[in-house]
A and B are shown apart, each in its own frame.
Chain A
Amino acid sequence: MRSSVIVFPGSNCDRDIAVVLEKLQFKNSMVWHKETTLPKSDLIILPGGFSYGDYLRSGAIAAKSNILNEVIKAGKNGCLIIGICNGFQILIECGLLQGALLRNSGLKFVSKDIFVRVQTNKNKFFNKYKNGEVLKLNIAHNEGNFFTNQKHLIELEEKELIPIKYCNEKGSIISESNPNGSLNNIAGILNKNKNILGMMPHPERMADKINSDQKGLPLFLSLMN
C-alpha cells in the first residue's frame, strides 16, 4: 500500500499518522501543499492541525491549495481518502464531503477522550471492527459540530454513510455524550461511494500500546486488505 500524507502550514498530526503508517509497512510519502503532483497513492490522508491558522473558516484556505486539485481528482477516481479533524474540515471545504463543521455548541475547544460506536462496518475503513463496537478515541477541536441539510442527513442515515457516532462508555448514543453539538451525534461521515472518510476523532493517537488500547489501529489495518 502506498500512502500520502498531505502537509499544510499549521498541520500538527502529520508525523503521528506517518509513524502509524510506517509501522504498518505502508510506503508513505509526506506531500507539501505547494506540490502540483501527487505520488502514486492508494491512500491519501489529510491530517489534523490548524492549516493556515484556521483563517476565514477552518480548512477553507487549505481547500484551495495546489495539491488539493490532485486530491480532488484522486478522490473522484476512487482513491481512498481519510480526513481527520482539520482534514475533515478541509474535505468539506473542498466539496469532497457535504455538510459543514460549525463551532462547537459549547463554544469551547474540546480536547479529551471520548467514545464512539461503530454504526456500520460495511465500508473499507471500519471492516476490522464489529458493528456496535465502542471505541475510546481522542478529540481536540473547536469546530466539530457537524451540520447539514435534512435531505443529506436522511441520505447519510439511510445509506449507512455514518460509520461512527459519539456515545457513552456503554455505547448509548445520547446527547450527554455529544461533545460538540453535532447533528445526530455524528463523529464521522463517508461520501456516497464510500471511498472518502471524514472524522473528527484522531485514530492515530490510539494506535500505540504505550498510551492506549490501540482502538485506532484497526482503521488503518482495514485498508491493507
Chain B
Amino acid sequence: MKFSVTVTLKKDVLDPQGKVVSQTLKNMGVENLNQVRQGKFFEIDLDENDTSKGHDKVKEMCEKLLANQIIEDFKINKAE
C-alpha cells in the first residue's frame, strides 16, 4: 500500500526559498502569481493491507521524523 506525504512550512513561517522561486517566476514573465511555498514530497510503500492502520503508521512517521511540527505541516494521501 502506497502513501504520499507532503511537508510544507506553516503559513506564518518565512519560506525564503519559496520567495526566491516566486520572484524568479515573475522575472520569467509569469503573471497573476500570488505566492509560491516550497515543500518536501515523500512516497512511502508499506507492507500493510488495512488503509486505516497504514494511515496511522504514516502519521506516526510524520510526527516522529518527516516533519518538524514547530515549523512544518504535513498532509498524507493514499496513492493509487
Contact = CB atoms under 8 A, between A and B. Distances in A.
Interface of A: 56-57, 60, 64, 93, 98-100, 102-107, 145, 147-149, 181
B70 A105 contact: no
Interface of B: 13-14, 16-17, 20, 65-66, 68, 70-71
B70 A98 contact: yes
A57 B68 contact: yes
B20 A181 contact: no
Contact of A107 (B17, B65, B66, B71): B17
Nearest to B66: A56
Minimum-distance CB pairs A-B, first 6: A100-B71, A100-B70, A107-B16, A105-B16, A100-B68, A103-B16
A99 to B, nearest CB: 7
A104 B14 CA distance: 10
Contacts of B70: 98-100, 147-149
The residue in A64, A102, A104, A148 that gathers the most chain B C-beta atoms within 10 A of its C-beta is A102
